[in-house]
Amino acid sequence: MLRISKLTDYGTMILVHLAVQARGAKDGVVDPEHLCSASDVASGTRLALPTVQKLLKVLARSELVRSVRGAEGGYALARNPATITAAEILDVFEGPLSITECSTADSRCELEDGCPTGGAWQKINRGIRGALDEITLADLAHPPREFPLVDLSGRSSRLRHRPTPGQG
Amino acid sequence: MLRISKLTDYGTMILVHLAVQARGAKDGVVDPEHLCSASDVASGTRLALPTVQKLLKVLARSELVRSVRGAEGGYALARNPATITAAEILDVFEGPLSITECSTADSRCELEDGCPTGGAWQKINRGIRGALDEITLADLAHPPREFPLVDLSGRSSRLRHRPTPGQG
DNA sequence: AGGATACTGGACTAAGATAGTCCCATATAG
DNA sequence: CTATATGGGACTATCTTAGTCCAGTATCCT
Ligand code: FES
Ligand code: FES
């Protein structure tokens, strides 16, 4: 459905939470080393604790988040939010993203022979991925700002949504 | 997963098949009125007949395909392929597409209150939709050509895929 | 050392979505 | 009237998703 799973949505919320905390939402002090515990994140995001734990585990296994075990341990972003893209986030939670099955593993598709689209979806997928590469976690943590992505569709006349109305 | 279902993929293949047939792949004669029966499409796309029948029914209920009942009946595109967009195709098979649940019905989301992303995915979704509005069925039926979509990511330096290598 | 804290890994289940098939009714051509 | 072909829907096996829970391990603090 061109729809990401709830877990990915939650996961993004968690990442944004971590980004905001590191920025110093707590004491107004910027501290990239600030560790958030799972329960910390759960209450901050209002998600169920077990779910948060599960997702943080996944994140910790990725290169996006680092973890410290033991008492006073917790999670923190491993990199600067500006260097973490939406595409990477999707990769972590949903595996290498591909819009169709055939585009997953280098076009290994049983239907490829008779497929009239000639890998059209693959190309669309690549384009979308390119767009997703533009969005960073830092962008996600700054709701008021518009995304560069809307520029992309601005060059068309066939489009439906408003091209950034007077809002900034 | 940012992944469309198999049925949508099949459905696209069917649409492309109809487009090609109307273009006159059969006798070399262009005939927008040419009707394809379900079994016709099934053998042409190498998909299972029952599945093709199911999908053609869905398509016929949409505004993309028209049908003629009875003997010598069949299906044909209702509009010019150049006016049918990928976004419309996805709409038909997957309903109004939205990348997250909260973006489905005008941000009616239980988590919206505590959501730190502030509808970020919604905006991403809108951008992707805009990109999908650019692709037409006519594009899909012309594999050799590149899509305008790749231009979109071309303005970035963070991107991964090649910007249309010597292929045309 | 010993207890408290907190991450790690994986198993497990209920609910939902998906893919695919089949049946019967209806409409049209000949 | 009969063969052809769509229309609408029911139905089920399978897969995926969402959510929970438990046993293990590392670290801090007393
Ligand atoms: S369906 Fe797989 S390549 Fe087209
Ligand atoms: S999770 Fe629904 S608005 Fe953010």
CATH number of the domain encompassing residue A74: 1.10.10.10
Of A8 and B4, the one with more pLDDT: A8
Per-residue pLDDT, A42: 95
**Domain interval for residue B123:** 6-105+116-160
Tell if the CB–CB gap between A133 and B160 is shorter than 8 Å.
yes
Burial class (CB in 10 A: 0-12, 13-18, 19+), A54: middle
Q: How far is CA B81 from CA B64, B84, B88, B93, B145, in A?
A: 9, 5, 12, 17, 15
Of the candidates B149, B143, B133, the one whose C-alpha atom is nearest the C-alpha of residue B168 is B143
Contact B121, A9 (CB under 8 A): yes
For A75-125, the pLDDT digits (tens) are: 999 999 999 998 899 889 987 655 555 544 344 444 444 455 555 676 677
* Residue B140 counted as domain residue: yes
With a CB cutoff of 8 Å and minimum separation 6, the contacts of B166 are none
Q: Establish if B168 belongs to a structural domain.
A: no
- The 10s digit of each residue's pLDDT in B68-84 is 999 999 999 999 999 99
Whether residue A36 is contained in a domain is answered as yes
How far apart CA B80 and CA B20 sit, in angstroms, is 11
Is the whole model's pTM more than 0.85, yes or no? no
B150 falls within a domain? yes
A117 neighbourhood in chain B, CB within 8 Å: 12-13, 16, 140-141, 143
pLDDT higher than 60, residue A158: no
Domain contains B129: yes
Angle, in degrees to the nearest 10, between helices A6-23 and A38-45: 100
**Tokens standing for residue B112:** 């919206």
Query: Among B64, B91, B83, which residue's Cα sits nearest to residue B136?
Result: B83
| 3-state class percentages of chain B: helix first, strand second, coil last, to nearest 5 | 45, 5, 50
Domain-embedded: residue B40 = yes
Q: Specify the higher pLDDT residue, B122 or B131.
A: B131
Encoded tokens for A88? 């990477």
Q: Which residues contact A69 (CB under 8 A, 6 or more apart)?
A: none
The spacing between the Cα labelled CA in A55 and the C1' in C26, in angstroms, equals 53
CB B150 within 8 A of CB B135: no
Residues A130-140 have a mean pLDDT of 83
| Cα B22 to the center of its chain, rounded Å | 17
CA angle B125, B139, B41 (to 5 degrees): 105
- Which nucleotide minimizes the distance between its C1' and the CA of B71? D4
For residue B84, the model assigns a pLDDT of: 95
Is B111 strand, coil or helix? coil
Q: Which of residues 5-44 of A touch strand C (CB under 7 A)?
A: 36-39
Of the listed ligands, the closest to the CA of B98 is 2
Domain count, chain B: 1
